Amino acid sequence: MSASRAPRLSQLVCTATPDPIEAEKTALKAKFIAVSTALVAEAKCMPDDREDLWEEKVMWLRRWEKRSGEVFPLVERGRELDVDTKIDTADGPAVAEVDEAYERWVSEEIARLKVDEDVRMEEEALQGAEGQGASAAEPVVSIRMTHVEVPQPACKHSQQAVAEGDDDNKPKITIPPFLTTDSMEKG
């Protein structure tokens, strides 16, 4: 054999190139283990369900949202790649119980925020009424005006103003003179 026909060293060495899918699966599994461990640790830190611990519960809710928000995309990707992304069976029931408490507490927090918003808006309305010279004890009476579209086939002007008045608790209807049948017959 001649030296020119001998194989080169680079031809003899075959390097193993990793399969990118397998590398992603391995990385996904490692990341899932770390994130799910943090989720289980957060589940173990759940505060008691007592009214005096409401602020702690709200802070914990935010942390739980962050941790579960990290887990769910990994679970979805694991399904796509056929990677087992399940929390350990010993911790599964505890995480499920904590997640139910999370859902309940979020509903309670939404209800609290709604009540707080209603109270704030009522206080603002009372302050606005006091600022206009009326007292909070005296109800403010106002007349509400609405415009009602009344079809008139022979006339272009077809709006009537309706005002709610105090006379016999009946609405007052004002019809402009040019819309009466007398004025239409004359014209």
- Residue 170 confidence (pLDDT): 58
- Residue 18 confidence (pLDDT): 78
Comparing 9-23, 66-80, 91-105, 148-162, the range with the smallest average pLDDT is 148-162
Domain range annotation of the chain:
18-131, 145-186
- Residue 86 confidence (pLDDT): 87
- Residue 166 confidence (pLDDT): 53
For 15, list phi and psi in degrees, rounded to 5. Answer: -85, 140
Tens of pLDDT along 143-157?
Answer: 444 544 545 454 444
The residue behind tokens 């004002």 is 174
- Residue 31 confidence (pLDDT): 95
Mean pLDDT of all residues belonging to the chain: 75
Q: Which residue has better confidence, 81 or 3?
A: 81
Tens of pLDDT along 46-62?
Answer: 999 888 888 898 899 99
Residue type, 156: K
Tens of pLDDT along 85-140?
Answer: 888 888 889 899 999 999 998 888 888 888 878 778 888 877 776 666 544 454 54
- Residue 37 confidence (pLDDT): 93
- Any bridge partners for residue 67, and if so which? none
Q: Which residue has better confidence, 96 or 165?
A: 96
Tens of pLDDT along 172-181?
Answer: 555 555 555 5
Contact indicator for 161, 147 with CB cutoff of 8 Å: yes
Compute the distance between CA of residue 46 and CA of residue 119 in angstroms, rounded to an integer.
30
Q: Is the dihedral angle over the CA atoms 139, 141, 142, 143 positive or is it negative?
A: positive
